[in-house]
Amino acid sequence: MKKYIIILLVALGAFIAGVVLSPYLKSENINRQTIDEAARLIGLEFTDSEKDTMLADLQERLEKFKGLRAVELDNAVPPAIQFNPLPVGFEAPKKEGAVRFTSFSKVTLPQNRDDLAWYSIGQLAALIRSRQITSEELTRFFIERLKKYDPKLHCVIALTEERALKMARKADKEIAAGKYRGLLHGIPYGVKDLLSVKGYKTTWGAAPFKDQVFDSDATVVKKLDEAGAVLVAKLSMGALAWGDVWFGGKTRNPWNMEQGSSGSSAGSASAVSAGLLPFALGTETWGSIVSPSTVCGVTGLRPTYGRVSRTGAMALSWTMDKIGTICRTAEDCAIVLNAIYGPDSLDQTVYDFPFNYDSQTDVRQFKIGYLKSDFESDYAFKKNDSLALAKLRDLGLNLVAMELPDINVSDLSFILSAEAAAAFDQLTRSGRDDLLVRQVRNAWPNVFRHSRFIPAVEYINANRVRYKLIQAMAKLMDTVDLYLAPSWQGKNLLLTNLSGHPCVVLPNGFSEEGTPTSFTINGRLFEEGTIVAVARFFQQHTDFHLKHPPLDKK
């Protein structure tokens, strides 16, 4: 009898459990096994009792997710949470001095007009201001070079020829009338195709967006318009800002056409390196200015996070994206930054701090750190980097050994992945991510998918560790005015993109294969003028930045 009572109680319990839990045991609903599998993905374990308690709340949360996904969120909508790169006690620069660039008043036209392709912004500006050449002539010159060499390099997504010639003629009229706007007046340039330009496609380098058109210009484009610069091309980028592969192919390195130009500012670096443009805008989240500038042998400036408005730019990572410039010389980078920095009342992450630069700065007064362990390790650019350090010492600079804070920043790298997955959430859910060219493991479609499994708790805690990193960097930067680092070796590239610090990347020689090498100069927050001054000093005493690829021999 006792045996039958036990069987009856077990059956009754199973019936009751089935009634209570049946909504959660259906294949489309959440059950204990669902929680077990999900918990394994995040390295946690729960008891059966804990899992049973969670079931109803998890099912309810899934319904809330469905509700959220019904809300239209295009890429331009930022989260209501902002990253703050300023350490505790940070004193914002207040003094705004006169920005002083090198004088190029004695520049004359070259006998061979093709040599204009390698002139700096300052040199071209002197020619335009003295009316030795018109902006329209210069604009047509660079448009023709873009048309001639793009079939080899695949660096152009769209020429803005009509707009360019209109702006060039306007510049010529103003200059003839004595209304000179400054060093960028009449200077042609290009932008990475994640920046919107009214009336032209903004493709983000990705097939799902190849016909996308916005009805307004990005803030940086507006600011360059105000400076009188002439936009002539929208330049290629790795699809959705990764690599050098886009829907039109792979952008090439002018020094070796068999290689890609690296990314994601692939077209910007390739075009400047090949003398197709005097300068171009790029962006960096984790190396997208440093890497292609290195590969293509040009000079790049990644400004402080919060220095330049990102209004009108594709968002990849709201807490890491930065707009910068790719040029021939360090001082050219300062000339462009001087035109594009500062708030626009739209991008709420931008700080209203002055930009100071003086070409006559005595850089020997600076205490300059260098990452001793990184420079002494075994890596590809070691020989040229060692020679660069030796050159700076020979020139009288005060170099002191230092090391970065002991924080494993690779553990924080998923911050970018989480934000990128959110930025392109609808692309993933729609299945249109299948249209992207690259579908391998190490490409956006897969990253967007697996990043859906990053817990919000871990994302927030990663940013708490990031806070500690910012404080540690503030203490370190109190000991030096700036520091030198290998471009790729070690953790500096990821660390400074997480902390928001600025850097200049500049060429310092060539590999045995004949391709360029580089190193970086890293500065305090909002002190781009200091690192540009040191970079300019190095370039005054070397000629690596003056080398250019023999395109017609390729």
Decide if 288 is catalytic: yes
pTM: 0.94
**89 Cβ contact list (under 8 Å, min separation 6):** 474
Q: What is the average pLDDT score of the chain?
A: 94
Q: Domain for residue 47, yes or no?
A: no
Q: Domain for residue 105, yes or no?
A: no
Using DSSP's 3-state secondary structure scheme, residue 455 falls into coil
Tokens of residue 168, six digits: 């060039």
Residue 94: predicted pLDDT: 83
Mean pLDDT of 497-518: 98
Instruction: List pLDDT tens digits, range 395-452.
Output: 999 999 999 999 999 999 999 999 999 999 999 999 999 999 999 999 999 999 999 9
Least confident of 26-40, 85-99, 164-178, 498-512: 26-40
Separation CA 30–CA 506 (nearest Å): 54
Nearest Cα neighbor of 524 from 348, 371, 373, 305 is: 305
How far the first Cα of the chain sits from its last, in Å, is 95
Instruction: List pLDDT tens digits, range 519-529.
Output: 999 999 999 99
pLDDT of 9 strictly over 70: no
pLDDT of 156 strictly over 90: yes
Q: Domain for residue 269, yes or no?
A: yes
Nearest Cα neighbor of 171 from 141, 131, 135, 125 is: 135
Query: Length of the chain in residues, anyone?
Result: 554
Catalytic residue among 135, 196, 261, 264: 264
Nearest Cα neighbor of 547 from 337, 330, 296, 336 is: 296
Higher pLDDT, 96 or 322: 322
**542 Cβ contact list (under 8 Å, min separation 6):** 391, 508
Q: Domain for residue 270, yes or no?
A: yes
Give the confidence band of 97 by pLDDT, cuts at 50, 70, 90: confident
Instruction: List pLDDT tens digits, range 445-485.
Output: 999 999 999 999 999 999 999 999 999 999 999 999 999 99
**251 Cβ contact list (under 8 Å, min separation 6):** 153, 154, 155, 236, 244, 260, 261, 263, 266, 267, 270
Q: pLDDT above 70 covers what percent of the chain?
A: 95
Tokens 């902002």, located at residue: 82
Q: Domain for residue 221, yes or no?
A: yes
Burial status of residue 8 (CB atoms within 10 A of its CB: 0-12, 13-18, 19 or more) = exposed
Residue 28: predicted pLDDT: 62
Separation CA 101–CA 95 (nearest Å): 18
**DSSP E strands, 16-55:** none
- 308 DSSP 8-state letter: B
pLDDT of 374 strictly over 60: yes
Type of residue found at 494 = L
Secondary element (H or E) of residue 282: strand 280-284
Domain count, the chain: 1
Q: Domain for residue 417, yes or no?
A: no
Range of the domain at 210: 113-354+361-409+452-553
Q: Domain for residue 343, yes or no?
A: yes
Opening angle at CA 533, ends 237 and 295, nearest 5: 30
CB-CB contact of 535 with 293 (8 Å): no
Catalytic residue among 192, 223, 234, 322: 192
Tokens of residue 91, six digits: 């004193």
Q: Domain for residue 23, yes or no?
A: no
Separation CA 545–CA 294 (nearest Å): 11
CB-CB contact of 72 with 53 (8 Å): no
Give the confidence band of 25 by pLDDT, cuts at 50, 70, 90: very low
Mean pLDDT of 379-407: 98
Catalytic residue among 265, 270, 288, 499: 288
Residue 11: predicted pLDDT: 43
Residue 5: predicted pLDDT: 45
**462 Cβ contact list (under 8 Å, min separation 6):** 411, 412, 414, 415
CB-CB contact of 374 with 495 (8 Å): no
Other C-beta atoms lying within 10 Å of the C-beta of residue 236: 35
Q: Are strands 503-510 and 482-486 parallel, antiparallel or unpaired?
A: unpaired
Separation CA 459–CA 35 (nearest Å): 20
Decide if 198 is catalytic: no
Nearest Cα neighbor of 182 from 336, 323, 341 is: 336
Nearest Cα neighbor of 546 from 332, 246, 286 is: 332
C-alpha neighbours within 13 Å on the C-beta side of residue 90? 19
pLDDT of 18 strictly over 50: no
CB-CB contact of 231 with 224 (8 Å): yes
Mean pLDDT of 198-220: 98
Mean pLDDT of 320-332: 98
Q: For position 396, which CATH number holds?
A: 3.90.1300.10
Phi, then psi, of 484 in degrees rounded to 5: -105, 145
Residue 24: predicted pLDDT: 39
Helical packing angle, 32-42 and 48-69, nearest 10° = 80
pLDDT of 31 strictly over 50: yes
Q: Are strands 367-371 and 482-486 parallel, antiparallel or unpaired?
A: parallel
Decide if 264 is catalytic: yes
Q: pLDDT above 90 covers what percent of the chain?
A: 93
Instruction: List pLDDT tens digits, range 223-261.
Output: 999 999 999 999 999 999 999 999 999 999 999 999 999
Instruction: List pLDDT tens digits, range 43-79.
Output: 999 999 999 999 999 999 999 999 999 999 999 999 9
Q: How far is CA 542 from CA 261, 354, 387, 446, 494, in A?
A: 24, 30, 11, 44, 28
Mean pLDDT of 489-493: 98
C-alpha neighbours within 13 Å on the C-beta side of residue 458? 18
Secondary element (H or E) of residue 516: strand 516-523
Burial status of residue 212 (CB atoms within 10 A of its CB: 0-12, 13-18, 19 or more) = middle
Instruction: List pLDDT tens digits, range 259-286.
Output: 999 999 999 999 999 999 999 999 999 9
Phi, then psi, of 488 in degrees rounded to 5: -120, -30
Using DSSP's 3-state secondary structure scheme, residue 482 falls into strand
